[in-house]
Amino acid sequence: MFDKKKTNTVSSKTNIDETVIIGDYCVLEDNVTIEAGTKIENYVFIGENTCIGKNNKIHSFAAIGSVSQDRKYSGEPTFLNIGDGNTFREYVSVERGNSIDSQTKIGNNNLFLTYSHVGHDCVIENNVTVGNCAGLGGHSVVMSDSRVCAHSIITPFCRIANYSFLAANSKIVQDIIPYVTAEGNPALLRGLNIWVLKKYKRASIKTIEKIFKIIINNINIMSDKIEQILNIDPLDELGFVSFIKSSKYGVIDNGQFK
């Protein structure tokens, strides 16, 4: 069984695999589950109702599963679920959900750099990098294989689509479509994420280039753009149309900030 060090404060209501390594002066609250192979360094806080999967690495002074900072939060039970193979560097903060039985979700193989913040009810999919001091507002979503660079801010409920790149010091106030780079305050689309496209979508580059030009052409309204996109990709295999239609606050197409 896991050896509870005298230097740590560990609730009796935890479920920790015997292979887990935990440093000194850590605090683990009620209903914390940690699966095999995870390593936790010194001075880490893990809040109640936090489930951590296999082979994660949590560096010193991280706060994982802390309560929501939203004024509306009133102490109801909320949750944080973390998958496998993630790394949380020093001083990273990750909040639990904000309303009864709600949860923040983090997938697999993500990297959170020093001082980055994940707000309540966020969803981080897989293979995402969140840079130093980047902040994700509540309910925001970062989809798989995307990168959020240092000091960038994602406002609540906004989404970063898969294979996208958000440059440093950027502010997101609407959704970012797949396969693109964005930069600025507020952020604008700057081009396609060519390196990623060559690695993962080489056969579709020409089609994606055509769709990108449609989206940033602000002569047409979005419903007309969707029709044109479907003429190029009738089955929406690249996911542009479904992403645009599911957007709550619209997608960045550069027109609204000119």
Q: In the prediction, which pLDDT does 255 show?
A: 75
Question: Is there a domain that residue 173 lies in?
Answer: no
Domain presence at residue 83: yes
Integer CA distances (angstroms), 88 to 15, 40, 85, 116, in order: 20, 10, 10, 9
pLDDT at 258 over 60: no
pTM: 0.94
- 2: confidence class by pLDDT, cuts 50, 70, 90: low
- Expressed as residue numbers, the domain containing 30 is 9-139
Whether 125 and 207 map to the same domain: the answer is no
Residues 85 and 203 in one domain: no
Average pLDDT in the chain? 94
- The tens digit of pLDDT for each residue in 190-243 reads 999 999 999 988 999 999 999 999 999 888 899 999 999 999 999 999 999 999
Find the radius of gyration of the CA atoms of the chain.
20
For residues 14 and 131, membership in a common domain is answered with yes
Q: How far apart are CA 198 and CA 205, in angstroms?
A: 8
Do 106 and 15 fall into the same domain?
yes
Rounded-to-integer distance, Cα 114 and Cα 136, Å: 14
| Phi and psi at residue 207, to the nearest 5° | -65, -45
Read off the CATH number of the domain in which 108 is found: 2.160.10.10
Note whether 31 and 104 are same-domain residues. yes
Listed residues 139, 157, 174: the one ending a domain = 139
pLDDT at 147: 97
pLDDT of 218: 81
Residue ending a domain, choose from 139, 154, 170: 139
Determine if the peptide bond prior to 186 is cis (ω within 30°). yes
The answer to whether residue 179 is domain-embedded is: no
- With a cut of 80, say whether residue 9 has pLDDT above it: yes
> Quick one: 118 and 218 in the same domain?
no
Q: Are residues 135 and 229 in the same domain?
A: no
* CA 106 from centroid of its chain's CA atoms: 7
Residue 219 falls inside a structural domain = yes
| Cα–Cα distance list, 184 to 27, 69, 136, 138, 252 (Å) | 39, 26, 16, 21, 12
* Structural contact between residues 251 and 226, judged by C-beta atoms closer than 8 angstroms: no
Rounded to an integer, the average pLDDT of 254-258 is 63
pLDDT, one tens digit per residue, over 42-89 is 999 999 999 999 999 999 999 999 999 999 999 999 999 999 999 999
Residue 146 lies in a domain: no
Q: How many domains would you assign to the chain? A: 2
Q: Does residue 46 sit within a domain?
A: yes
Q: What is the mean pLDDT of residues 22-45?
A: 97
**74 in any annotated domain:** yes
Residue 251: pLDDT above 80? yes
What is the end-to-end Cα distance of the chain in Å, rounded?
Answer: 61
Phi, psi of 115, rounded to the nearest 5 degrees: 70, 10
Q: What is the pLDDT of residues 160-185, one digit of tens each?
A: 999 999 999 999 999 999 999 999 99
